DNA sequence: GACAATTAACCGCTAAGGCGGTAATAATAT
DNA sequence: ATATTATTACCGCCTTAGCGGTTAATTGTC
């Protein structure tokens, strides 16, 4: 039950963030304060802006208990190697 | 078999990107050209820089067939609502 | 209705991402 | 050994993300 993120689905992603924020009973300013970012970037994310910096996004997602992950057909092969650290 | 992304695992994330690039037989400049980004940002990603812009990252991940997704305990509830558009 | 809180949508400013260029080192051929 | 290619790690330039401030519109709540 994950949601994919790409340039075309940024609007949908913004809706996901907004849903989680409202479920947490937070205003945009409230979320921004807890996450340690500005109120503007919360507005931007919820409106589908795609040029958000990753570190900024991770602060917001972390605050809302949303995890971000990557996957690919080669991931099994990668994990089988000696790269994994956990 | 997914890999989680957060501020602490950016180094690991960089290694994942590098693994996929090498499996594709691409140099950094080659990947950058195909993805439509500069060579510097490939270098930065592979070195664990966390302030990459999301749109830039998505271009690179898309080229390497790596998908980015979000998940959370509330995702089921979200999907059950009338938000879904796919 | 009145009131408070939230959101929308701008603004100017500062810090930094992303760009190509470059040069020095490292790796991989022939 | 000698080319060729790739990587590292810097630089200056331009663009823009992200910031707080602000005002109007919206959304509750009493």
Quote the pTM value.
0.94
The Cα A53–Cα B57 span in angstroms is 9
Q: Do A7 and B55 touch (CB under 8 A)?
A: yes
- CATH code of the domain containing B32: 1.10.260.40
On chain B, the residues whose CB falls within 8 A of the CB of A1 are 71, 75-76, 79
Cβ–Cβ contact B13 with A under 8 A:
yes
- For residue A84, being part of any structural domain is answered with no
CA distances (Å), B5 to each of A24, A47, B14, in order? 22, 23, 10
Model confidence over B5-49: pLDDT tens digits?
Answer: 999 999 999 999 999 999 999 999 999 999 999 999 999 999 999
Residue by residue, pLDDT tens for chain A (86 residues) are 899 999 999 999 999 999 999 999 999 999 999 999 999 999 999 999 999 999 999 999 999 999 999 999 999 999 998 664 44
Do the domain assignments include residue B44? yes
The DSSP H or E segment spanning A67 is strand A67-71
What is residue B57's DSSP assignment?
H
Does residue A85 belong to any structural domain of this protein? no
Q: Which domain range does residue B72 map to?
A: 10-79
């Amino acid at each position: 039950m994950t949601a994919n993120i790409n340039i075309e689905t940024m609007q949908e992603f913004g809706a996901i963030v907004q849903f989680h924020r409202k479920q947490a009973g937070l205003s945009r300013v409230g979320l921004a304060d807890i996450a340690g970012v500005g109120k503007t970037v919360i507005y931007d994310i919820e409106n589908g802006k795609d040029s958000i910096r990753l570190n900024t996004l991770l602060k917001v997602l972390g605050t809302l208990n949303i995890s971000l992950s990557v996957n690919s057909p080669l991931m099994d092969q990668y994990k089988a190697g000696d790269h994994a650290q956990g």
